[in-house]
Each structure stands twice: as C-alpha cells, then as structure tokens.
Amino acid sequence: MKIYRNPILRLGSAVILALALTSLLASCKQDTSALDPGTNQPGTPIATTIPKSPDAIVEPADNPSTPAKIELGRHLFFDKVLSVDASTSCGSCHNIGAGLADKRGLATSMGFEHEMGTRNAPALANIAFNTSFTWDGKFKSLEAHAQGPIFNSLEMGNNFTNNPASLDSIATGYNSKPGGNDTLFLFKRLDVRPGDLQGVTYKTLKQQAWNGAPWSMDLIAKSIAAYERTFISTQSTFDKYNNGDASVLRNNPNAIRGLQLFTDVNGANCVSCHSGYNFTDQLFHDNGIGGVGVNNHADEKNVDKGRSSFTKNSADDYQFKTPTLRNVALSAPYMHNGRFATLEQVVKNYRDGGKNTTPYQDPRITKIKSLNLSDQDVSDIVEFLRTLTDNSFVMDKPGKFSNPWGD
C-alpha cells in the first residue's frame, strides 16, 4: 500500500508507517524535530507500509499446538542425541543469540563430524509465517522440513544403512543416501536418554504430549514444528516505533532516514522484496550476489543454482528465497552462501547494482544503482536494519529458548 503525503489519506490509512506516522506524531507529541527530514514533495508516492503486527498463525489441522507438545519439541530441538554421533542438535546451527541463525558466524553450516554444508543457516525468527522453507523453498511446512536435517548427511547424519529393518521414508529432496534412514537407532537413543537437567525423561514428555504413543518421525517432526511456531519476534525497536513510540528512535535520526530509503518506492525500494511484517515477499529472486559457488569458488560445478536445483526449471536458476530481515544484525554472515560478512557490504552490493554476473539478476537491483546512494545513505540503511533487533526475543528465556540438557 502506498502512502501519500495527504493528511486525509494518511489518517484514513489502516496501516501507518514512517513519514505518515512521523507527521501524525508531530501533531500530538512534543520533541519530533528529529523525525521528519521533509525531503518528499506533496502528492509524491513515498512509501510502502510495514504492518504493525503479524497475521495470526495458522497451524496445520493435524498438528494443533499444546504446551506439552511444545515442551517435547524444545527438548528435541536442543538434543544432540538426535544426531548420529550425538554431536549436533538443531540448536547447534540455529542459536537464539543469533536470532536462531548460526552464532559461530559460519558462512555455511557445520554438521556432525564437522562436515561443512553448502548453505548458510537462516535465522528462524517468525518462521511460523513462512509459506515455504529452506533457501530454495522445497519444503511446504515446518512438519515436512523438520525431518530433513535429521537425515541430511551434512547435518545430523541419521542415514546409515546398518539396520535395514528401520527403513523410513527418505525426507524427499534432502541429501539422504540411498538405502534408508536409521530411525530405529534414533528412537532407541531417545528411549535410553537420561533425564534433562530437571530429571525429566522423554517417557514423561511423550506421555504428556502424545499419550505415550510410540516414537515415529511424524511425531518427532510435529513436536519440533509446534516448538518452532513459538519463535515469535515482535518487540524490536522498529516495532515500537512503528506502533507509535517515537521516543525509541529520538536519538537515531539516521535510522529513520534509512527506513525511509528502504521503504521509498522511488528510493532504494528494498521493501518491494523485503515486504510485509517479516520483510519478505516469500518469493524467489536473483538479487545480484553473483553466481558464485560454495564458499565463493567461481567453479561452475560448485555453483548453487538455488530454486532450479529443486524445480528443474532453468527459469528458476539462481533464485533464492527473500529472507526475513528481523534480527538481521545478529546473523552475519549474509546470503545463502554467507558471501558477505557485514550489513554494510550487503547494502553496498545493492548500491553498486549487484554483480550482474548472471542473466537472471532482478532489474530492481540494477535500478538501485541509478540512485547514486551516498555512503551516508548506505550507513543510514544499515542503521535502520539494526533497529530490527528484538532484544526481548534473543535473550535466553528460561523455559522457552533455554537448552533443557544444559550442554
């Protein structure tokens, strides 16, 4: 939705942001001098809005959340025993202090036996609102995705073939080796697992969540997915500002300028892809980071072709999902291959019109170049991105994000 600098339209608008909010506040609050740079002409479309609050979470009909299911999911999420050599949990790569991305700052992930993966671990804030999962969007639900890493040979590695009786369906699209996944060994490891720091065992947790049903991958995936739906981030500095508290950015006019550049359809227009409450259109684009291979090798064989590796449609070459920008300041390095170490490098790449090394680069990226954004503009956009950090989300909350196993 566009906002015009017309008071009537502005006041009638259901969702109000940035300049609109700024001007509105000017009429009722005192110290607003830092808020309105006044650079836009009356009647010019200036901004696209970011909603003030997320939509309701839609749970699959066959997996309604319950506190007991979430609690079992938390135990599984942090349990290294889920990996074949008890070295790696989901929480090893998705760490709360990094917005549930990799706190080790790895460009691409490291799984069991220190195997290096090929992609950067995404932040999981507000993952409940996504419509597809992983950088190429090959999974359609959190339930469908959750089995993937457990079997992936570069993540948790449960796909040995030494127990053919344990054949389970191979998580489609994941890097499973032929021959089956060793789920029986996995279930056994969970059954004999000593209790958590409080002495609570899986037997008790499974009794409460699933009435004592036997382990199955379905049950494990549903419990983890229910837990992942609790990763809700709504209290960033930006959210407070967006909901009317101008004081949080009173001393940060640069962030407000950055927000305006970000949302200005005639400016950097970042918002055309990073749109909506979670700053993602849920679509796939080539945003001009260049068709480079894993760990930046310019080796054609290693090039990650993104969505087309899953759809087998060459029109999808180099298309990756627009990631959320919530808590982005905490989740360096950036992009599907961890190509950029800092937010400044990211924004400079956009400013320079992308690398233009593939025929697929989105034209919007090329257009950004024509704006001649100054170094000040770049740093203001970065300053705005930093306001998306939600300190109350990333703080370790006992009982919610803390590791019940204490390791």
Q: How far is the CB of 406 from ligand HEC (least distance, A)?
A: 18
Contact between 289 and ligand HEC (CB under 6 A)? yes
Per the structure block, which two tokens stand in for 47? 């901004």
Q: CA 54 → CA 128, 233, 279, 286, 398, distances in Å?
A: 10, 10, 11, 26, 24
Given the complex with ligand HEC, which of 23 and 306 has the nearer CB atom?
Answer: 306
Given the complex with ligand HEC, which of 115 and 245 has the nearer CB atom?
Answer: 115
Contact 120, 108 (CB under 8 A): yes
Q: How far is the CB of 235 from ligand HEC (least distance, A)?
A: 19
Q: How far is the CB of 269 from ligand HEC (least distance, A)?
A: 6
Q: Which stretch binds ligand HEC (CB under 6 A): 192-200, 292-300, 363-371, 398-406?
A: 363-371
Contact between 95 and ligand HEC (CB under 6 A)? no
Task: Out of 19, 20, 68, 156, point to the residue binding ligand HEC (CB under 6 A).
Answer: 156
Task: Out of 190, 249, 303, 343, point to the residue binding ligand HEC (CB under 6 A).
Answer: 343
Q: How far is the CB of 381 from ligand HEC (least distance, A)?
A: 5
3-state secondary structure of 340: strand
Residues constituting the chain: 407
Angle at 126 between CA 325 and CA 47, to 5 degrees: 45
> Count residues contacting ligand HEC (CB under 6 A)?
56
Contact between 386 and ligand HEC (CB under 6 A)? no
As to burial, measured by CB atoms within 10 angstroms (0-12 exposed, 13-18 middle, 19+ buried), residue 312 is exposed
Q: How far is the CB of 45 from ligand HEC (least distance, A)?
A: 17
Q: How far is the CB of 48 from ligand HEC (least distance, A)?
A: 12
Instruction: Please give the radius of gyration of the chain, using alpha carbons only, rounded to the nearest integer.
Output: 23
Contact between 270 and ligand HEC (CB under 6 A)? yes
3-state secondary structure of 309: helix
Q: HSE-up of 172 (CA within 13 Å, CB side)?
A: 9
Given the complex with ligand HEC, which of 155 and 196 has the nearer CB atom?
Answer: 155
Contact between 84 and ligand HEC (CB under 6 A)? no
Q: How far is the CB of 354 from ligand HEC (least distance, A)?
A: 9
Q: CA 325 → CA 201, 285, 389, distances in Å?
A: 37, 15, 9
Count Cβ neighbours within 10 Å for each residue of 37-61 and write b for 16 or more, e otherwise.
eeebeeeeebbbbbebebeeeeeee
Nearest in space to 4 (alpha carbons), one of 41, 33, 29 = 41
Binding mask 201-230 for ligand HEC (x = CB under 6 A): -----------------------x---x--
Task: Out of 23, 111, 210, 263, point to the residue binding ligand HEC (CB under 6 A).
Answer: 111
Q: How far is the CB of 131 from ligand HEC (least distance, A)?
A: 10
Residue type, 238: F
Contact between 246 and ligand HEC (CB under 6 A)? no
d(CA 181, CA 195): 26
Nearest in space to 270 (alpha carbons), one of 136, 371, 398, 129 = 371
Contact between 98 and ligand HEC (CB under 6 A)? no
Given the complex with ligand HEC, which of 23 and 236 has the nearer CB atom?
Answer: 236
Contact 126, 232 (CB under 8 A): yes
Q: Which stretch binds ligand HEC (CB under 6 A): 33-41, 86-94, 177-185, 230-238?
A: 86-94
Longest dimension (CA), the chain: 72
Binding site for ligand HEC (CB under 6 A): 77, 88, 90, 92-94, 109-111, 117, 119, 121-122, 124, 127, 130, 133-135, 142, 145-146, 149-150, 155-156, 224, 228, 262, 268-270, 272-274, 285, 287, 289, 320, 322-323, 325, 328, 331, 334-336, 343, 346-347, 350, 362, 364-365, 368, 381
